[in-house]
Amino acid sequence: MATRTIAQGFDAFQSRITPSDYESGKAASHKAAITSRLKAYHDLRQLFYSGSAKNGTSISKHSDVDFFAWIPTSKLRNNSATSLREIKECLQVRFPHTSVYVDSPAVVLDFGSADWDKAEVIPADYVGKKNEKNVYDIPNGSGGWMRSSPSSHTSYVRNENTRLSKKLKPLIRFLKAWKYFCNVPISSFYLELRATKWMENESKIVYDIDLCTILKKLYSCSLASMQDPKGISGYVYACTTEAKKNEALSKLYTAKTRAEKAREAEKAGRTIVAFECWNKLFAGKFPSYYC
């Protein structure tokens, strides 16, 4: 019976967790209707992709789609929570049979097919440019506004991904797959920026080695907040509450321990054991040692 190497296992895993064209198209099908509604009632200037969908780091059947809704300042409120509520009410009328709710910084439309069939609409107030990239104010979760620049972060990840032979985005996908498969309450944005920042000084990526290293670093820094590498968003936090941070650290300890055991097994020539450890880390969704 044919077998795989660890490298081949991660390549197969990368293919497995990449969203299908159907999933991507499903998200796009909602964009026009959301755009039309917000143009009519909030003078929407532009609705554009952000987050994992924009960066190419989405996880099949798990990642929803983030949109930035560029709305004129005159159509927004000083209290961002009020703006979110008004946008939620506006979209609920357009989508009466859809679950629409506020989950700051976004209004979420749950179209019901699966976890990935959700759209998060983030109201964004254009404030200017930094390094030729658009900068916006978006809700900060407590009634105020905070700075964000999706194009700055997209360029940052894309440039590092190109430098690292296009292996950074798959590495980020593996981190997000662990997050989703193991229900880890940690920010995808945080994982993306942490991984990219830590890989800045590396000349190449070997998936099993670098994934293990990042998991260990995340645990050793206790998921500390980090400065936005692009100097836009200020501090970026791993979790929204201390309770979620404690839960994430507990699951992170288990993950980094399994990754260490996988690396030890591989170095000892016990590849099948390494596969078993990676499979446990990814909640039974990692490819088998046998093809």
In this prediction, residue 115 carries a pLDDT of: 64
CA dihedral 19, 194, 219, 259 (to 10 degrees): 40
pLDDT along the chain (291 residues), means of 10: 95 92 68 94 94 81 88 97 98 95 94 77 96 94 93 95 98 97 96 97 97 98 96 92 97 98 98 98 97 90
User: Do 100 and 86 form a contact (C-beta atoms < 8 A)?
Assistant: no
- Is residue 1 one of the residues assigned to a domain? no
Token look-up 């198209």 returns 25
- Is residue 188 one of the residues assigned to a domain? yes
Domain with 100 in it? 6-281
In this prediction, residue 116 carries a pLDDT of: 67
Q: Which helix (H) or strand (E) holds 233?
A: none
Strand ranges in the chain using DSSP code E only, listed in sequence order: 46-50, 65-70, 99-103, 106-110, 118-130, 133-139, 145-148, 226-227, 235-236
- Is residue 287 one of the residues assigned to a domain? no
- Is residue 291 one of the residues assigned to a domain? no
Q: What is the spatial distance between Cα 31 and Cα 131, in angstroms, rounded to a whole number?
A: 28
User: Do 173 and 59 form a contact (C-beta atoms < 8 A)?
Assistant: yes
User: Do 214 and 126 form a contact (C-beta atoms < 8 A)?
Assistant: no
Q: What is the spatial distance between Cα 43 and Cα 74, in angstroms, rounded to a whole number?
A: 9
Name residue 112's amino acid.
G
Report the number of distinct structural domains present in the chain. Answer: 1
- Is residue 139 one of the residues assigned to a domain? yes
